[in-house]
Structure 1
Amino acid sequence: MVPPGQPSAGPICAPPEIETLALDDLVPDPEWRRPALLDRDLLVLVTDGHGGLELDFAAQPCRPGTLLRARTGQVLRCSVSELNATVVRWAPEALRGFDVDPAAVPAWRQLAGADEDVFSAEISQLAVDCERQRGVARAAGLLRHQLAVLLLRVSLLPDAATSVPRAETVTFQRLCLEVERGYRHTRRVEDYAANLDCSVRTLTRACLAVTGRSAKQVVDDRVALQARRLLAATDEPVAAIGRRLGFSEPTNFGRFFAREVGMSPGAFRAAREQPLPGRPTDGPADAPAHRPPAARVVRPRPPADVADEPAPGMMA
């Protein structure tokens, strides 16, 4: 969860597979000079302030009510310290046995009105229970159920309508799953088409409908993203990163990276500690109707009476 070579911040709740903490507790470096490579899934609710977060190098605008979903393997970085936010962090085993599809949870939502009240109350209650039940084995089930309900509630929020045909959306999702399994071994669209028992043309049509990019570009984008993650968040040698991504020669990796990113791997790594822009715009450059950027965070403190009675809006 934290950059290699730096001590991790201690958890503030039990069981260890579910935690609540503040955004600035994710890394020991208060200036976030490099992104944090996440080893657990996160849900971040901004409660106060405005600022910028960078998730997989894409700016995400944040203000009160912003709900950000980050996945294991992504990189997260903050900019200016103008946010208060609560972070829920969990390991995959926390959702074992629950009918929850983490992929159905949108990456960014801007909550308002009753939705913001409900999610604020549920996350506050989860934070209180994490603190109160620290070390209590019987509380594991309570926290797991609370997390499952929270994620189900997010996945059921109304989303922006899309004009992409469902068949092409399903094909694109199947390709993404296959690419996730195989991008370290092949970048050939023909291989993915064979594994999915369809044609290259079908995959390209689906990718163009959903992203505006060809299937080959989608595959190469995934490889380039992983390269950027490892270059920015780790000290692994460039040649070793290239080998991990299926390049037999460092020069081939360097040419691929320069073509996809616009600079050499070394130049990209050298720029990783440059500060992020101070204040974001109203919306991220590559986001759908909802997404955010953020900053450091101060741990939110529940009101004094929260410890004695359920938070408003909680269901029994």
Structure 2
Amino acid sequence: MHTVDFVTYPCRPGTLLWVRPGQVQRFTTPGRMNGTHLLFTPAFPETSAARGLADDWSAPNCWQLGTDADYATTSALLARLHSEYNRPGGPSREILSLLLAALLLHIDRFPRPRTHPDRHAGGEVYARFDAELERSYATTRRAEDYADRLGYTVKTLTRACQAATGQSVKHAIDARVALQAQRLLAHSDEPVAVIARRLGFSEPTNFGKFFTRRTGTTPGDFRAAQQTATASASTSAASSGEGS
């Protein structure tokens, strides 16, 4: 079992996990994760085709590769990366970059669960909105502000968001703010009032009402539950002799 951004996924042969920058993760049960691990840092040169896929906050984190073709292609791309990385005389960074782009673009073809936005369905309008949301979610939650910055009408943004997510622009904005709030509450020691200010709330009480409306629990209760879960996982791992 593996938890990414507060969603727990069962992992078995054929499971593909993609954890992106800024996401938080937790190994929820003791055990060894046997599989290929691919790590690339922000400093690694990406092609323009793949740029943005790694930062898509709303993209899925887990797929179960159910067909032989999906599994075979993914495995072959990973094996080719591994072979180039360990090439005698040293790898070519350009080839590694192109192979990484091919892998990411291949993964991006996989069908998305209904709970995740399909940025392709929203076209360029949704893609631009999604990028602007990642830059500005902590400074404004008004759909009108995003429309002005992007040169669209709110109606145009609404159509794109409906096509991609089935939800309104406001829902998409609030979902991103709520996710960041959960990350900060679970994995920082900052007071709730400080987190509220970081996310653009002038008063902690307004942040508390927003968070409770979005998640069904108060910021304090959410943080306490996450701390309990983390302590429980650490205790289980220590008693079983597993490292973290």
What TM bracket, shorter-length normalisation?
0.7 to 0.9
Q: Give the structure 2 partner of residue 225 of structure 1.
A: 179
Higher relative contact order (CA 8 A, sep 6+): 1
The alpha-carbon distance between structure 1 residues 56 and 169, as it changes in their structure 2 partners (threshold 3 A), is farther
Task: State the distance in 1 between where 2:92 and 2:120 align.
Answer: 41
Counterparts of 1:120-199 in structure 2, within 5 Å, are 120-124=75-79, 126-127=81-82, 140=93, 143-155=96-108, 157=109, 159=111, 168-199=122-153
What is the distance in 1 between the residues matched to 2:153 and 2:71?
44
Cα distance in structure 2, aligned partners of 1:167 and 1:120: 28
More strand by share: 1
* Residue 26 of structure 2 corresponds to residue 69 of structure 1: no
Structure-2 change in CA distance of 1:192 and 1:87 (3 Å): same
CA deviation after TM superposition for structure 1 residue 222, in Å: 0.8
Q: Does 1:95 align with 2:50?
A: no
**2:71 maps to amino acid:** E
Q: Which residue of 1 is the match for residue 224 of structure 2?
A: 270
1:87-131: CA deviation from partner (whole Å, max 9, x where unpaired): 21111231345643342896343323243234334435645665x
How many positions carry a matched residue from both structures? 222
Q: What is the deviation of 1:186?
A: 0.6
Secondary structure at the counterpart of residue 246 of structure 1: coil
Structure with greater helix share of residues? 2
Amino acid at match of 1:78: F
AA of the residue aligned to 1:190: E
- Asked if structure 2 preserves the Cα contact closer than 8 Å seen for 1:239 and 1:250, the reply is yes
- How far the C-alpha of 1:225 sits from its partner, in A, is 0.6
Secondary structure in 2 matching 1:62: coil
Question: Is 1:115 aligned with 2:70?
Answer: yes
Distance 1:222 1:170 in 2: 19
In the TM superposition, residue 194 of structure 1 has moved relative to its aligned partner by 0.9
Q: CA deviation at 1:139?
A: 5.8
Q: How do 1:244-255 residues align onto structure 2 when only pairs under 5 Å count? A: 244-255=198-209
* 2:28 alignment counterpart: 79
Partner letter of residue 9 of structure 2? Answer: Q
Q: Secondary structure at the match of 2:206?
A: helix
- Describe the superposition over 1:113-161 as per-residue Cα deviations: whole angstroms up to 9, x where unpaired: 243234334435645665x579x87665564454334334434x46479
Is the alpha carbon distance of 1:236 and 1:129 closer, same or farther for their aligned partners in structure 2, counting shifts above 3 Å?
A: farther
Q: Identify the match of residue 210 of structure 1 among 141, 159, 164.
A: 164
1: CA distance, partners of 2:190 / 2:148: 33
Report how far residue 198 of structure 1 moved.
1.8
User: Is 1:53 aligned to residue 2 of structure 2?
Assistant: yes
> Aligned partners of 2:46 and 2:120: how far apart in 1?
28
TM-score with structure 2 length normalisation? Answer: 0.74
Counterpart residue number, 1:260: 214
Q: Aligned partners of 2:119 and 2:43: how far apart in 1?
A: 34
Decide whether the 8 Å contact of 1:102 with 1:151 is kept in 2.
no
**Residues 237-248 of structure 1 mapped to structure 2, 5 A cutoff:** 237-248=191-202
Q: Is the 8 A contact 2:120 2:164 kept in 1?
A: no
Q: Tell me how far apart the structure 2 counterparts of residues 144 and 210 of structure 1 sit (CA, whole Å).
A: 29
Q: Tell me the distance in 2 between the aligned counterparts of 1:161 and 1:222.
A: 18
Separation in 1, partners of 2:162, 2:106: 31
CA–CA distance in structure 1, aligned partners of residues 42 and 2 of structure 2: 24
Residue 241 of structure 1: how far off its partner (Å): 1.0
Extract unaligned runs of 5+ from structure 1: 1-51, 277-297, 299-316
